[in-house]
Amino acid sequence: MKVIEVRELTRVFRTRRKEPGLRGAVRGLFRRQMERTCAVDRISFDIEEGELVGFLGPNGAGKTTTLKMLAGLLHPTSGEARVLGYVPWERDDRYRRQFALVLGQKNQLWWDLPAWESLELNAEIYGLPRRQFEETVEELSTLLQVRDRLGVMVRELSLGERMKMELIAALLHRPRVLYLDEPTIGLDVVSQQTVREFVRHYNATRRTTILLTSHYMADIQALCRRVIVIHRGRLLFDGRLEDILDRFVDFKLITIDCEPGAPVRWEVARRFGDVETAEAGRLQLRVKRQEVIPACKALLEALPVRDIDIQELPVEEVIRRLFTDGLDPAESPAAPPNPAAGGQAGALH
């Protein structure tokens, strides 16, 4: 069952550009210059019920703008989207009771109230039965290891504790769809791990559909089998995390360790690939995927090899290179349709 359906979704912001100085200020009174920024540019994807999907992109890629449109906080400039059968920006009460949005840098709890009272206020807003509210808080606070902090003023909680309370507040009404925007940003290693384990457990037990953005690849690798990558507002990749390697990296890394003291003719090794690192007795080469096997055979015959290791480029490094190299999505090869997502073509239904 498709829970989230997005077709050609686009959001353009128009902002006023002010010229510097007094002359520019006066000129702006009579003639305004507007700039057009396309934050999200015709992206399409589907997400099935119960999926936990990573949503990746550098700062300014359009991730948060997309989440805000799916949450109904922003109207798109063009395109369509349906979540649980609802058009998000129509803000139907029945839809608003079935999703939650957690922004890692925004607070929904009252700083001058104990966490428990803030949660009670949220429960009243949603009209939750008292028994359901208490059971949910008991379960979630235990899983997140903050049960003993419910009576503490929100402003006195640590950053990690506040984020855990934000998660509890977002999940009080047991939503079917959860949008998580940087939930572990700024947290220490222990808190990050606790939040990851909680998200994994909640998704597995509740079958909640989750769309997760994070700049920490550890979050994505630990939680998401599928990722959607956007860059400059456009869809760059939609598929399994491990398939990013096949799509964007056409080489593997071969590391060669030679016998100590043995004469080494590195010029032989350099015929088979580009040098990544070179040290005494050790060389790392980038070798085209289709040439890895013959290259290894030739290297074993030509060099006094003690050890040879073949590795993929780490996914985190692939993502970093992808963004810093500034690959234009229009220039990248088309992503194959994702069977789990049902492809990207066709009208909403």
26 token code pair: 């006066």
pLDDT at 200: 94
What mean pLDDT comes out for the span 221-229?
92
Give me the number of domains the chain comprises.
2
Tell me: do 305 and 224 sit in the same domain: no
pLDDT at 14: 84
Do the strands 209-213 and 33-48 form a parallel or antiparallel pair, or are they unpaired? unpaired
pLDDT at 84: 96
Distance separating alpha carbons of residues 273 and 290, to the nearest angstrom: 12
pLDDT at 244: 82
Tell me: do 139 and 196 sit in the same domain: yes
CATH of residue 36's domain is 3.40.50.300
* Beta strand residue intervals within 219-346, DSSP E: 226-231, 234-240, 251-258, 274-279, 282-288, 305-311
Highest-confidence segment of 36-40, 101-105, 301-305, 318-322: 36-40
Q: Tens digits of per-residue pLDDT, 291-341?
A: 999 999 988 888 888 999 998 887 777 777 777 764 544 444 444 444 444
Tell me: do 200 and 125 sit in the same domain: yes
pLDDT bucket at 27, cuts 50 / 70 / 90? confident
pLDDT bucket at 348, cuts 50 / 70 / 90? low
Tell me: do 17 and 146 sit in the same domain: yes
Distance separating alpha carbons of residues 95 and 85, to the nearest angstrom: 9
Tell me: do 234 and 264 sit in the same domain: no
DSSP-assigned letters across all residues of 175-209: -SEEEEESTTTT--HHHHHHHHHHHHHHHHHH--E
Tell me: do 78 and 211 sit in the same domain: yes
The number of beta carbons lying within 10 Å of the beta carbon of residue 146 is 23
Tell me: do 162 and 88 sit in the same domain: yes
229 token code pair: 């990558």
pLDDT at 186: 82
Judge whether 233 lies within some domain: yes
pLDDT at 270: 83
Judge whether 197 lies within some domain: yes
How far from chain centre, in Å, is Cα 204? 19
Look at the chain and count its residues: 349
CATH of residue 265's domain is 3.30.70.980
pLDDT bucket at 24, cuts 50 / 70 / 90? low
Tell me: do 76 and 217 sit in the same domain: yes
How far from chain centre, in Å, is Cα 302? 45
Judge whether 177 lies within some domain: yes
DSSP count for the chain of H helices, then E strands: 12, 13
Judge whether 339 lies within some domain: no
All residues at 6 or more sequence positions from 209 whose CB lies less than 8 Å from its CB, including other chains: 3, 4, 47, 48, 49, 50, 51, 52, 176, 177, 178
pLDDT at 206: 93
Tell me: do 191 and 266 sit in the same domain: no
Judge whether 57 lies within some domain: yes
CA atoms within 13 A on the CB side of 219: 29
Q: What is the pTM of this model?
A: 0.78
For 61, which DSSP code?
S
Q: Tens digits of per-residue pLDDT, 111-135?
A: 889 999 999 999 998 999 999 999 9
Q: Tens digits of per-residue pLDDT, 167-210?
A: 999 999 999 999 999 888 888 889 899 999 999 999 999 999 99
Closest CA to 94 of 121, 66, 126: 126
Tell me: do 241 and 173 sit in the same domain: yes
DSSP-assigned letters across all residues of 45-56: EEEETT-EEEEE
The number of beta carbons lying within 10 Å of the beta carbon of residue 59 is 8
What mean pLDDT comes out for the span 245-263?
84
Looking at every residue in the chain, the average pLDDT score rounds to 86
CB 285 within 8 Å of CB 276: yes
Range of the domain at 154: 2-246
Tell me: do 241 and 263 sit in the same domain: no
Judge whether 337 lies within some domain: no
pLDDT at 165: 94
Q: Tens digits of per-residue pLDDT, 75-100?
A: 999 999 999 999 999 999 999 999 99
Instruction: Tell me which amino acid residue 187 is.
Output: L
Tell me: do 228 and 263 sit in the same domain: no
What mean pLDDT comes out for the span 219-237?
91
**Is 90 exceeded by the pLDDT of residue 140?**
yes
Please report where in the chains the tokens 């994994």 appear, as a residue: 200
**Is 50 exceeded by the pLDDT of residue 342?**
no
